[in-house]
Structure 1
Amino acid sequence: MSQTKLHLQTEKTVLQQEENTMNVVLLAGQSNMEGAGNFDALEPSIKQRLSKVASRVMFSNKGEKAVPLSYTLSPHKKEKYGFDKAFGPELMLGVTLAEKFPKKKFLLIKTAYGGTSLYGAWAPHWTAEKAKISEKGYKQNLPLYKIFQTNIQNQLTLLSQKNVPYKILGMAWMQGENDAAKEFTALTYHENLVEFIQRNRRDAKVTDMPFILGQINSTYGRFKKGPEVVRQAMVDVANSKKNVSIILTTTSRSWDDFPKHTDNTHYNTLGQVRLGEAFANKLLPFIK
């Protein structure tokens, strides 16, 4: 076989492998990662874009079976906002990545619970004592880091059983509002975030796995300096750790960058559209 034919055959094999590989993105956090976007209020053009790529973007939410990317049904959103077809940043993250890489397949694995802290529920070294003083109600008994890792491993095991090769591209993290609400959780956010990133990278078996932070801009809590402490901690971690990037947000209550619902806490439909696009655009430079 000539060198030219051998080269072309090798190139074809590589391309086939790339097309068969499932590109995995991990997503986690609290309510703004859960998402309060109204799917029915999306512009028709966005729904059309989604329909064109949904077959190449699978989505597993909170350990559920992976399905083509779309909305999730939420009785809580129905009660609070009047709609039950909700979405978070995964929607436009998936659409944006799929459009950028028309030959690639994606799997988005998300675990998010509103009103949870990195100090308590999300701590890799979870303890009942820390959860009790930082979480409320049933969330005191939610070891979310362990749950998240179990959800990830279950999805990856299914891929392996089907002989589908996979590659973990990175992780999106939208969380911190609850830590900002208390002094002891806010002041330890920096060190807790560093540990969280390190543990996720270790458990994903991806050294220096790209990690995208969504900077919080909450305004509630007993510790008035809390939001700024956590916001700065995120910036400092992004500036000091390899392959960590941050989506900066405004503190202006006009929320011009990522619009919110009238509760001034949760991103609305447009806010979630922009947040998903921002996560994708921050992740793109790390994807080969």
Structure 2
Amino acid sequence: MKTPPSWHSPLTRLGVILALLLSPPLSAAPADSNSLPDPDGKPADMSKPVKVFILMGQSNMLGFGTVAGNKEGTLEHATKAGKYPFLINDDGAWTTRMDVRNVRVMNFKDHKNDWLTADKTGRIGPEIGIGWHLGEHFDEPVLVLKSCIGNRSLGWDLLPPGSKAYEHDGKLQPGYGETPETAGSGEKYEGKEWYAGKQWDTDIASARQVLENLEKYYPGAKGYEIAGFAFWQGDKDRYNAAHAATYEKNLVQFIKALRKEFNAPNAKFVCATLGQTEKGATGKEGEILNAQLSVDGSAGKYPEFKGNVASVYAHPLSKGGASNGHYGKNAETYMNIGLAMGEALVGLYEDE
């Protein structure tokens, strides 16, 4: 394990500790990003298997944070204001981690395959913050593997294997692999070949395609280990009463199914809440928020998740806007939540 960076001052340390104590579950405050060092430009120890972290969710995991531009909310503006200094070098150019690969696939197509860096001409998601913390923590090579697409719900598109049909408000809802017709609900969905869990199947198969061709995505790799998962999702489910009401049950099954699918029973799992939803919220958004916080191992509701599942409370990290508007494409929101998710993943390893 790499030596963690030191915090700047006792006051900084005290502030972070108080934030964590006052706002459980993990994590209500972003990591002190200024304490992260610049990358040293050195490759990882390639004699060791690659630590693979699979990122899933919908459009905000996909990433809509604007990088280029001088307006407030862009990553360029943030770094010029002194934020996230590890992302730029002394000449103002974007830094690159040579020990973390950043790969994104969507519906079996490659969209990114490079070393981890901010792309000046594109957009970012939480993968930059997640990958930066993981690269600092592990001596092993790290692969951040994002497999997702926008506008997908956990209660339908991403419904995991093992999910059974159920009744809600007098209507039968389909289980994994079923359609509303086969479940007997009489409801119809667009797409003749769509079924509950179709996007789960596609995202998992897309990720497997990368792993089966690992040398293409991490040159020099000597095997891999599925070390963890990161999940940022929930927007689409808040428009469906049945999906919101069963979000917690589906999320628990999602975690278990991921570990089973990749034969990784000890892989860590971190999820982030929707940035606009505050604790105490009611209605469908409140149901989803409470579900996401409930799976945190420190909450005590699921003893089997203690020390291996963490939730990131995203509201204090968000710079405004809502999930359905991609938080105004504010890059700081994506960086803050990504850093918190990466910190939470590292924290689960440090607590072992």
Q: TM-score range by the shorter chain?
A: 0.7 to 0.9
- Which structure has the highest helix share of the two? 1
1:89 partnered with 2:126: yes
Find the aligned partners of 2:45 and 2:251 in 1 and give their Cα distance. 35
1:143 partnered with 2:194: no
Aligned with 2:288 (options 227, 230, 237) = 230
1:204 partnered with 2:232: no
1:117 partnered with 2:153: yes
Residues 75-120 of structure 1 deviation map (CA, whole Å, 9 limit, x = unaligned): xxxxxxxxx611100011112221333x331111112222210111
Distance 1:56 1:163, change over 3 A: closer
1:47 partnered with 2:87: yes
1:266 partnered with 2:319: no
Letter in 2 for 1:273: M
Letter in 1 for 2:340: A
* 194-203 or 107-116, which deviates more: 107-116
- Superposition deviation, residue 171 in structure 1: 0.5
Find the aligned partners of 1:51 and 1:165 in 2 and give their Cα distance. 30
Relative to the length of structure 2, the TM-score reads 0.63
Relative to the length of structure 1, the TM-score reads 0.75
- Superposition deviation, residue 17 in structure 1: 6.9
Contact 1:121 1:139 in 2 (8 A): no
Letter in 2 for 1:123: L
Letter in 2 for 1:110: K
1:66 partnered with 2:113: yes
Contact 1:30 1:114 in 2 (8 A): yes
Q: Give the equivalent residue in structure 2 for 1:129.
A: 180
* 237-246 or 156-165, which deviates more: 156-165
* 124-133 or 207-216, which deviates more: 124-133
Q: Give the equivalent residue in structure 2 for 1:107.
A: 143
- Superposition deviation, residue 262 in structure 1: 7.7
- Superposition deviation, residue 57 in structure 1: 1.4
Within 5 Å, give how 1:2-81 maps onto structure 2.
19-40=47-68, 41-42=74-75, 43=79, 45-48=85-88, 52-62=95-105, 63=108, 64=110, 66-70=113-117
Distance 1:163 1:262, change over 3 A: closer
Aligned with 1:183 (options 214, 233, 241) = 241
Contact 1:247 1:279 in 2 (8 A): yes
Distance 1:263 1:244, change over 3 A: closer
Find the aligned partners of 1:274 and 1:138 in 2 and give their Cα distance. 39
Distance 1:72 1:201, change over 3 A: farther
Letter in 2 for 1:166: Y
Find the aligned partners of 1:237 and 1:29 in 2 and give their Cα distance. 16
Q: Give the equivalent residue in structure 2 for 1:277.
A: 339
Letter in 1 for 2:114: V
Contact 1:171 1:209 in 2 (8 A): yes
* 19-28 or 233-242, which deviates more: 233-242
Residues 242-278 of structure 1 deviation map (CA, whole Å, 9 limit, x = unaligned): 121100133xxxxx52113588742321101101101
Residues 119-160 of structure 1 deviation map (CA, whole Å, 9 limit, x = unaligned): 111012243438996977799578211112112212222237
* Aligned residues: CA RMSD: 3.3
Contact 1:189 1:230 in 2 (8 A): yes
Aligned residues: 253
- Superposition deviation, residue 214 in structure 1: 0.4
Find the aligned partners of 2:95 and 2:180 in 1 and give their Cα distance. 48
Distance 1:47 1:133, change over 3 A: farther
Contact 1:60 1:109 in 2 (8 A): yes
Letter in 1 for 2:88: Q
Unaligned runs of 5+ in 1: 1-15, 74-83, 251-255
Letter in 2 for 1:249: A
Residues 38-96 of structure 1 deviation map (CA, whole Å, 9 limit, x = unaligned): 122321634327955432211221241632224579xxxxxxxxxx6111000111122
Unaligned runs of 5+ in 2: 1-43, 69-73, 161-175
Q: Specify the SS of the correspondent of 1:205.
A: coil
- Superposition deviation, residue 163 in structure 1: 6.1
